[in-house]
Structure 1
Amino acid sequence: MLRVRLTLKGYLVTGFLIWLPLAVTLWVLDLIVSTMDQTLDWLPGSWQPQSLIGFHIPGLGLLFALLVMIFTGAFAANILGQKLVGFWDALMGRIPVVKSIYSSVKQVSDTLLSGSGQSFRKALLVQFPHQDAWTIAFLTGHPGKGVIEHLGGEEYVSVYVPTTPNPTSGYFVMVRKADTHELDMSVDDALKYIISMGVVTPGQKTR
């Protein structure tokens, strides 16, 4: 009887390990598609797919959002588009409260997504949360002039220390450059290492 229980437990764990990655993947994809489908609400009621063809097509909102972003990027690439984007940025920068949020988000997105940006380009090993512990962090830049004045003569770097298994939250800290070690791994491998809580090591193949 005990052996049967152990066998059933083994089958249960094996089945769980097989279905869990698939279930999470499908859940994330469904969340993305359902969220992007809401962009169709921007269209007038008579232009929405439900009104034109009589039924809802899952994923059509995602396609619509991608097309909007592609056409927006193509339009902003020419001289007229650049002038309009500059005018829009200037307009948003004059609205109280809105300008603080808009300018902050724009600066972060431009830094992270720009091809010429250097943020999140290097994975570092840093001491955190104390000197006897080490964790993986990402280089985000260097402290500003007003901060450097209070840090002494040593060189400091700004790093982002993500939490696990959710790397979208974390800590922004400034550490001595001499106390960091640049890792020979890509940012993607470092993120996988963090999300898996150290289970999936860089270079390890997943089954």
Structure 2
Amino acid sequence: MKRLRNYFITGLITLFPLVVTIIILVYVFQKLDAFLSQLVPPIISTFIPPSMIEEAGGLISIGIKITALLIVLGLITLFGFFTSQVVGRRILDFLERRIFFKIPLISTIYRPIKEINNVLFTGKKYIFKRVVMLEYPRRGVYSIGFVTAETLLETPGEDSPQKILSVFIPTTPNPTSGYLTLIAEKETVPLSIGIQKAFQLIISGGALVPSYKDKLNKAFERKLGRR
């Protein structure tokens, strides 16, 4: 039962942004179809005799639905083009800061959807390089983080420069906020799970931990073996 529950949560997290998008698109399509169904027949009747309109009623209905679908696809493409331009990105950022991220209910829904969509469905290169485990916020308590950068720094008590990692530790269940830590690489333990899987684990609030038990056990063994 636990495995089935984990599979269900994983599927729900993955499909949620897609389902919300489909619901919105279907709603827009239905509204356009209803609007065109009222607008088009009177216009056609000025050019075509009523008898011919009755005979071609089915074809007209199909044509209206195809037109509504093409309009929806065109609006999506136009919106994508607009938001990929400098002005469009600025307007979208402004709306996010002033509306989407400010209103409690909208923010609760919009933030996770946007983050999940960015992680799971975009072709952009991740800013996260790999997944690690580290002791945070205190010793004995472990957090999952994402390495965003690494550099060599002179550190007190060390004879040579140490590799320091910039690690972003997201919060649960909203991974758009979190904490930035600078930590020596030797103080972290790499996790052999991908970026997408790690995000699913975090967004689930740990419900998917049993699914990654073996990999987490190996990480703890490596961590404890260093002591």
Task: Name the structure where helix makes up a greater proportion of residues.
Answer: 2
Q: Give the TM bin, normalised by the shorter chain.
A: 0.3 to 0.5
Bigger Cα Rg? 2
The structure, 1 or 2, with the larger RCO (C-alpha pairs under 8 Å, 6+ apart) is: 2
